[in-house]
Amino acid sequence: MENIILIGHGSPKRDANNIELVGKLLHNTIHPGCTDGCVRIAYMKYGDPDIPGAIRASVESGSKKVIVHPYFLSSGLHVTEDIPEMIREAEALYPDVEFVYTEPLGTHEKLIHVIMERISTAGGALLPEDIERKSFDILTGEADFTGLPPEQLPIMQRVIHSTADFEFRKTLTFHPEAVTAGLAAIKAGKNILTDIEMVRTGINKRWLKPWGGKVLCTISDEEVIRASRETGKTRAEIAIEQGIDESVGIIAIGNAPTALLKTIEVLNERKMQNPPLVIGVPVGFVKAFESKALLATQRFPFITALSRKGGTPVAVAVVNALLKMANEEAAKEEEVVSGKAKE
């Protein structure tokens, strides 16, 4: 068993001694669902527990390895002298316990990203597009996109940017004609049908407006609610079943596996000449993965994520990436036409 101890400086102002939240976030990240005290906190001064107390509690809980992290930005005297001295004393008291001392937070590109977010939140000079561009630069530097088809790259980047989850690099799956079908639907002025209001709300209407399409979601309509009560079907699957028609070019499902299963059923039954692109990324433990695995076997265009992960942010990110791509292509075409006209 090992323990991690996060050490903060501590402040006479009690409200400032709040690294417990950081400890909980770290614990939930490395040991989801664990109720043991694997991650502890301690303070140099003013706060409780102090460092010797946190070390003692770790050892008494049975820990044979204690990892000490100074939650400091720089290597001052506390980091280079005071804390190491306390660790040496602990090593003498507990010779059977291994102690590991990490570097402080220091200078790291991820901290730069946090600073950028703080500036943006405070209404600072960085524009949203600057934040987004720099964020994309950071994630591109951290993820290996080798071998990814160029037309899929903007979508993959936006999904990872929206979720901060690099696992989608391995799980996001594309039908060979998915991107082409999505862009064609947008440019043809086709509508986008969503399973829930959150997905509808997240789609960038400003990017969609030039093409004439609309974002549709009828899950809260009285007719859908009534039909759900009468049939026992979910509102999401009824709304999708009623909403699919020739005017729909993209179906974006980020929440309801039943809606995705109904989409697959309807498209296979109707055998539409130009079926819509299905973005199916419901999240969860019940039928979510199964519905996405089934989608990945279909002949009509799809984009899905073959894991339990997904949700509204992923569905929205895929649609918005396609919208931005369509607008960028239109702008390039306009530049070409304009250049030829000048000649």
**Encoding tokens for residue 144?**
């290996």
Q: How many CA atoms are closer than 13 Å to the CA of 66, on its beta-carbon side?
A: 32
Sheet holding 98-101, edge to edge: 39-43, 2-8, 65-70, 98-101
Please tell me which residue in 27, 69, 161, 175 is annotated as part of the active site: 161
Is the four-CA dihedral 116, 120, 126, 127 of positive or negative sign? positive
- Give the three-class secondary structure for 326: helix
Three-class secondary structure assignment of 231-285:
HCCCHHHHHHHHHCCCCEEEEEECCCHHHHHHHHHHHHHHCCCCCCEEEECCCCC
Provide the Cα torsion 36, 22, 71, 63; round to 10°: 0
- If you ran DSSP here, which 8-state letter would residue 138 be given? H
Q: What are phi and psi of 314, to 5 degrees?
A: -70, -45
> Which of these, 95, 93, 87, lies nearest to 51 by C-alpha position?
87
Q: Residue 7 is encoded by which pair of tokens?
A: 């050490």
The answer for residues whose C-beta is within 8 angstroms of residue 14's C-beta and 6 or more apart is 47
Where do runs of H (alpha helix) occur along the chain?
20-30, 51-60, 77, 83-93, 109-121, 128-142, 153-163, 168-171, 178-187, 197-202, 205-208, 222-231, 235-243, 257-270, 288-295, 312-342
Alpha-carbon distance of 123 to 38, in angstroms, equals: 38
Residue 161 catalytic?
yes
Q: Which residues are known catalytic residues? A: 161
